[in-house]
Each structure stands twice: as C-alpha cells, then as structure tokens.
C-alpha cells in the first residue's frame, strides 16, 4: 500500500546524497537558529502504490508518522522537486511549509518543513 522512509540527522553523513542534502539544509535559518541546531527527521521518501493513490493514504501515513515521532523530534524536513506538483501538494496538505529552495544541477527543489512543536 505505502511507506515512509526517514532518518534522523545522525545518519545523514552515511550516504552521499543525504550528506549533500544535510550540508545544504543545515545552513537554513529556522526560528532564529539554523536547522542543524535542532533534533529533526529527514523524510527520504514517501511512496503509495498506484492503485491506492488519491485515497488519502499518504496523508494517513504522515499522520501516523507524526504521532510516532513528534515527541522525539522538533520537525520533519524534506525536499520536493518543483516539477512534482502532486508531492508538493500532499506535503502542504498535511502541514509542511515551504522554507527554502535548493538547486541540484538543473533542477530546483523546495525544502519543506513540518514544525511539530508549533502545530
């Protein structure tokens, strides 16, 4: 049906793509500090099987995700390709907010954050 892959910041340096993302997002300003000053989760991937898309599965996965982790982490953060309107829409619908923009070669990505301490 679907799944969410995530990691906390302690493992970000273990993978080249995550290390690059970490180096970029950790410098972003948030609540008068930088992201690296917080204990947070990075969402690496959320996937829903095609036959279950449009049924609210992604939202339910994220609702469960927040319940499971909100007491241990200040927020969840990820980046979404600006060309992927469906993904960005789902992230915004559950409570993520656009925070910044990153560039990878010729692609632009929105950094989105779901602030669990203020929701």
Q: What is the pTM of this model?
A: 0.91
pLDDT per residue of the chain (119 residues) written in tens, 0 to 9: 998 889 988 888 888 878 888 889 999 999 999 999 999 999 988 999 999 988 999 999 999 999 999 999 999 999 999 999 999 999 999 999 999 999 888 899 999 999 998 87
* pLDDT tens digits for range 65-87: 999 999 999 999 999 999 999 99
Domain boundaries, the chain: 2-115
**Res 20: pLDDT:** 85
25: which residues sit within 8 A by CB, 6+ positions away?
A: 35, 42, 77, 79, 100, 102, 111
- The crossing angle, in degrees rounded to 10, of helices 57-69 and 85-94 is 50
**Res 114: pLDDT:** 97
Please check whether residue 41 is in contact with residue 69, taking contact to mean a CB–CB distance below 8 angstroms.
yes
CATH topology of domain 2-115: Aminopeptidase (3.40.630)
**Res 104: pLDDT:** 82
């Amino acid at each position: 049906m679907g799944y969410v892959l995530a990691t906390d910041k302690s493992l970000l340096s273990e993978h080249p793509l995550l290390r690059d993302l970490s180096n970029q997002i950790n410098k972003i300003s948030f609540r008068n500090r930088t992201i690296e000053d917080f204990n947070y989760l990075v969402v690496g991937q959320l996937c829903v099987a095609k036959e279950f898309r449009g049924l609210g599965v992604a939202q339910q996965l994220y609702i469960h995700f927040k319940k499971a982790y909100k007491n241990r982490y200040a927020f969840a953060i990820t980046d979404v390709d600006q060309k992927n309107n469906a993904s960005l829409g789902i992230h915004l619908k559950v409570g993520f907010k656009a925070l910044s923009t990153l560039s990878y070669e010729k692609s632009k990505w929105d950094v989105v954050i779901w602030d669990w301490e203020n929701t």
